[in-house]
A and B are shown apart, each in its own frame.
Chain A
Amino acid sequence: MTLLQLAWKNISGNGLRSWVVALCALLVAAFALFATLLLRGAATSLELAADRLGADIVVVPEGAQADIEGALLMGAPAHFWMPEETVRALGAIPGVEAVSPQVYLSTLLNASCCSVSEMFMIAYDPATDFTVRPWLQKRLPEGLGLGEVIGGDYIFATEGEDGILVYSALLKLKGNLEPTGTGLDQSVFLTLETAREVARISEEYAEEPLIIPPDQVSAVLLRSGPGVSTEELAVEIYRSVPGVYPIQSDNLFSSSRTQLRSLLNTVVVVMALIWPLAIVLIGMVYLMAANERRRELGVMRALGATRRYVSRSLLAEASLLAFCGASTGVFLAVLAIYLFRRLIVSSLGVPFLLPSPGSLILQVGIGLLLAMGSVFLAALLPAVRISRQDPAVAMRE
């Protein structure tokens, strides 16, 4: 009989105690992994979204800062406008290397002319664009033509193999982009020319026309020149161009980042409470169990078990229980994240991207190790203490 077999028999024979310890390990592992997956998923998502935007500064009409974050992060349709001449004014500011306008649109809610309700649409100008083209080139080296769109990860064709109906205009879905976990996954990208064509068709056929105010844009994406401080450039834009608000890409999604930071702080506080409590609880359970089994362990010592064997058998029991509890906890955490990620995203108001398999395995491993380490740590003191007891004293009532 091996040490593990003996440990397993003791676990099976002491149901309540085993459940308590396994449950503690389950809670520690599940909470740690769930929180880690959520926070890392949100942080990765924000980084990817900012990367995909690809601009140093995004200029929006003053007061539209929250709207653009909502649109880019959560896919909430946003409508805000500023004069097209702003593009030229921004391009004239010293230190600005490139500017490109974007127009933000959305499909109608529950309208038969739109196959996807309230879908966020980003129209860009291919002539000046420097943000969409780089990642579009990976998928579509030839770029988007008239009547073509490329969708986020969640966008799929609804008409035939590659068609998508937008304001009664049948657009061709040319492909999908890598997931970001943000609203960009529920958005489509199209050229300004295609957007104007959709607007033209909609006037005649759609339930409501798509309105693109003439000589208006929603946002201007801006790239600074080499060695130019984006912070100073943002200040200059704010000072010299009235009615606009420059958002540095580092500050983009600041409300989500703040939300994430407060979430992280909450998780740290909860973890700081749960973890030591779990260790103390498991330690107490083991101390009680070791006392309850004092005579049994004394008999084992009398029969020839060394001190090391006794402590190892108790630690093997703890490790096995921790492994079973933590594995279940890890499984439940991953399952919860997969099943309820949409609910979590909408209730917490932060974007979320599922981790890659490699990253998931790493995080699962860390969760398991944390829980098993906690149980091992908690059981160590009682195990060592009981193993050092005189066998005759241990066997005495």
Chain B
Amino acid sequence: MIRLENVSKSYRLGKGNDVHAVSDVSLEIGAGESVALVGRSGSGKTTLLNLAAGLTRPTAGRVTFDGVELWKLSDAEQSHLRNQRIGFVFQFPSLLPTLTVLENVFFPTTLGANGHGVDAMGRAKELLGRVGLADKLAAYPRQLSAGQQQRVVIARSLINRPEVLMADEPTSNLDERTETEIMELFHDLHISLGLAFLLVTHTRQLVSPGMRTVEMAAGRIVSGAAG
């Protein structure tokens, strides 16, 4: 489904000071597959996830989604693809602060070509019920704990019925108990919805049995590239 071919990403921090975040990486993630990107901080995991999602343009190489080269699409086409086919969970608090919990969850549906409808609202409520926050619909993000916020983000990531869920260190700001709960939730969703799942983590303990583990170091894949 997602294919990265000889992808590199460099950042220019100053004159003659290029940082090679990802160097010549190839990786394929199949439909319904669950992949964990592991490695130490600064190994290039997040950059690789961003490259796979089309959130940043590679310096070299190709990224394809179902055979379509991402960077040959227009901004509107790329945005539509992210909106409809990819769900995101970030490591930082990513809810829009001026929207309520319910509005945050159905917000991605308002970005689609057809806008949102009663169906989206109902689904948002259903998803919030599924993550255990049915009683927090009218609350604002600042009124929730970090764990609750991350549950809302998970509900939001599923609102458009994506084919792949990408989670970047989703439990890094959470306590151990909440971390376990969130990871169990991801596992359940992956199983029940049949989503492809790309998890970025530096904690190997979070990798569930059955996940393909891809290890990165210094911007390169050191193991697990082949599916």
Contact = CB atoms under 8 A, between A and B. Distances in A.
A393 B12 CA distance: 12
A1 B109 CA distance: 9
Contacts of B4: none
29 contacts: A2-B110, A6-B99, A9-B98, A10-B98, A13-B98, A14-B98, A295-B94, A296-B96, A299-B90, A299-B96, A300-B111, A301-B79, A302-B55, A302-B82, A302-B90, A303-B82, A303-B83, A303-B88, A303-B107, A303-B108, A303-B156, A304-B80, A304-B82, A304-B108, A305-B79, A307-B75, A308-B75, A390-B56, A392-B50
Size class of the B contact interface (CB-based, 8 Å): 20 to 34
Interface residues of A toward B: which range? 20 to 34
A306 B144 CA distance: 29
A205 interface: no
The interface centre, meaning the residue of A304, A309, A392, A397 with most chain B CB atoms within 10 A of its CB, is: A304
Contacts of A351: none
Interface of B: 47, 50, 53, 55-57, 75-76, 79-80, 82-84, 88, 90, 92, 94, 96-99, 103, 106-108, 110-112, 116, 156, 160
Interface in A356-397: 390-393, 395, 397
Contact of B56 (A13, A303, A304, A393): A393
Contacts of A295: 92, 94
Given A1-B103, A10-B98, A392-B50, A305 B111 contact: yes
B73 to A, nearest CB: 12
B57 A302 contact: no
A301 B44 CA distance: 21
Given A1-B116, A307-B75, A302 B96 contact: no
Interface string A294-335: 011001111111111100000000000000000000000000
A13 B79 contact: no
Nearest to A304: B83
Nearest to A306: B79
B159 to A, nearest CB: 9
A296 B97 contact: yes
B79 A304 contact: yes
Nearest to B159: A303
Nearest to B47: A392
Nearest to B50: A392
A355 B111 CA distance: 47
Given A301-B79, A304-B108, A395 B90 contact: yes
Please indicate which of the listed interface residues B53, B56, B79 has the most CB atoms of chain A within 10 Å of its own CB.
Answer: B79
Nearest to B83: A304
Contacts of A229: none
A391 B166 CA distance: 15
Contacts, number: 77
Given A9-B99, A300-B96, A303-B111, A390 B88 contact: no
Nearest to A393: B56
A10 B103 CA distance: 13
Contacts of A158: none
A325 to B, nearest CB: 19
Contacts of A300: 96, 111
Q: Which 9 A-B pairs have the closest CB atoms?
A: A304-B83, A13-B98, A392-B56, A392-B50, A392-B55, A304-B111, A306-B79, A9-B98, A391-B55
Contacts of A306: 75-76, 79, 111
Interface in A117-171: none
A302 B88 contact: yes
A115 B82 CA distance: 82
Nearest to B112: A304
Contacts of A304: 79-80, 82-84, 108, 111-112, 160
Contacts of B82: 302-304
Contacts of B98: 9-10, 12-14
Contacts of B92: 295, 395, 397
Contacts of A299: 88, 90, 94, 96
Nearest to A297: B96
Nearest to A395: B90
A9 B84 CA distance: 25
Contacts of B116: 1
Given A301-B55, A306-B79, 11 more contacts: A1-B107, A14-B98, A299-B94, A300-B96, A302-B82, A302-B88, A306-B75, A307-B75, A309-B79, A390-B56, A395-B55
